[in-house]
Amino acid sequence: MSKVYPGRNIEFNPESRVVFTSCSLKLTGMADESLFDFLHMEIVSHIYKEQQSSKGEMDNKDRAVCVSVLESMGFRVGQGLIERLTRDSASFKDELDVMKFVCKDFWTKVFRRQVDNLRTNHQGTYVLQDNKFSLLTQLSSGKQYLDQAPKYLAFSCGVVRGALSNLGLDSVVTAEVSVMPSCKFQVVIQKL
């Protein structure tokens, strides 16, 4: 049973422990950044716990389902964010121009800093290097959590893929971590 808090536009469902709000949030300050980081970690944790509770032990197929759910959520978020950011922008002249926008303006709005390095083979493959990826900085810098990093990157891959999709570029986005909190996102543009 949901409990509604009148006048506050908040609904709390204790069974799923999810809070719904009809107000729009603007991330502006340090507290908001921490709130987003915490919310992201809780969403990842919730998705994995839901999958594990229905099966007990998780195998690779279960992990793939979790990654797919997180990536899909990120895709929709990326679509919405890029719509807002490009509302008053001129159109982009080419694929590289789109990627530069994603690495500078979009990345700054979403992850609070620009990409450290953008590389391309000029054949539709781009590598975005972020040496202090914000969603990994909350995890330890040691190698002990390196195997946990991929599940915290699925949402971000979806965000990037969703943004590119709304800009007219179908893509496959993957991420890899070799040293925390540094991360490389590989974007492969799908040619039709």
If you average pLDDT over every residue of the chain, what do you get? 82
* Residue of 155 and 91 predicted with greater confidence: 155
List the one residue out of 177, 187, 125 whose CA is nearest residue 153.
177
Q: Which domain holds residue 166?
A: 57-189
- Supply the pLDDT for residue 31: 54
User: Could you tell me if residue 1 is inside a domain?
Assistant: no
User: Could you tell me if residue 12 is inside a domain?
Assistant: no
Q: What is the pLDDT of residues 166-184, one digit of tens each?
A: 999 999 999 999 888 889 9
How many domains are there within the chain? 1
pTM attached to this predicted model: 0.79
User: Could you tell me if residue 111 is inside a domain?
Assistant: yes
**What separation in angstroms does the CA of 169 have from each of 6, 117, 119, 136, 165?**
43, 20, 17, 27, 5
Joined tokens for residue 97: 């121009």
User: Could you tell me if residue 129 is inside a domain?
Assistant: yes
User: Could you tell me if residue 121 is inside a domain?
Assistant: yes
CATH number at residue 131: 3.30.1380.20
User: Could you tell me if residue 113 is inside a domain?
Assistant: yes
Q: What is the pLDDT of residues 24-73, one digit of tens each?
A: 334 444 456 677 888 888 888 888 888 877 777 788 888 899 999 999 99
Whole-angstrom distance, CA of residue 58 vs CA of residue 46: 14
Confidence of residue 142 (pLDDT cuts 50, 70, 90): low
- Supply the pLDDT for residue 12: 41
